[in-house]
Amino acid sequence: MATRDALLGVLNETLEPKQFEDYGPNGLQVEGKREVQRLVSGVTASAALIDAAIAARADAVLVHHGLFWRGMDGTLTGWLRERVRKLLAHDINLLAYHLPLDAHPTLGNNAQLGLHMGWGAGAPLAAGSLVFEAQVSPCDAAALAAQLHERLGRAPMWIDGGRPIARLAWCTGGAQGYFQKAIDAGADAFVTGEISEPQAHLARECGVSFFAAGHHATERYGAPALGAYVAAQLGLEHQFIEIDNPA
């Protein structure tokens, strides 16, 4: 068993959230009980995850996608009110880390996706970059698409850049806007979660393959890795709960 403050301390020391200008608050988003024994990790603080955490008798929930984001109007109504109500009713702490969890060199979403895919943890394109890269065994775009489908359980949307892939860049989630950084760095292909209209044109015109492998599918490995790590540090029980999301 550990205190909430001890858990928060290990998370903040590990992820260093103050280094990031993020889209929402990192750290403790909803305060629950002071003593923590059971930690549940998940990707998103959805009602389904909160219900599962209640059933698991969790004292704290650790997620990548929390409840509060830039641009929200500050009211607790509708679905947001209901999620917060459930957490408060069961005295459960909610801790969320967004960009800090993407960026961590070993426990983060990018590093863990690379390890899961067999590319290695990779390294940032540059200091502070959220885009990771690695040298991979040369393959064509169709083979990489098949590998993503097999490992992630979801067929990616992909645009063939037309050249062999040996230098691979990736950034999990909704990082399609970073495609140009991968192109500029000399990558042969870029893997992320989503695609927008411009990326198809860029892939064809620049000869760099683009793979949209799913926002949730690419970001479901950091939270359990981080949860297991902090649980081991503090002697907590830990359980990752998968809530399927086709997006």
Q: Is 216 annotated as a binding residue?
A: no
**Among 26, 64, 56, residue whose Cα is nearest residue 40:** 56
Structure tokens at 133: 């890269």
Q: Is 104 annotated as a binding residue?
A: no
Q: Is 160 annotated as a binding residue?
A: no
Q: Is 90 annotated as a binding residue?
A: no
Q: Is 64 annotated as a binding residue?
A: yes
Annotated binding site: 64-65, 102, 215, 219
Query: Would you list which residues are annotated within the binding site for a divalent metal cation?
Result: 64-65, 102, 215, 219
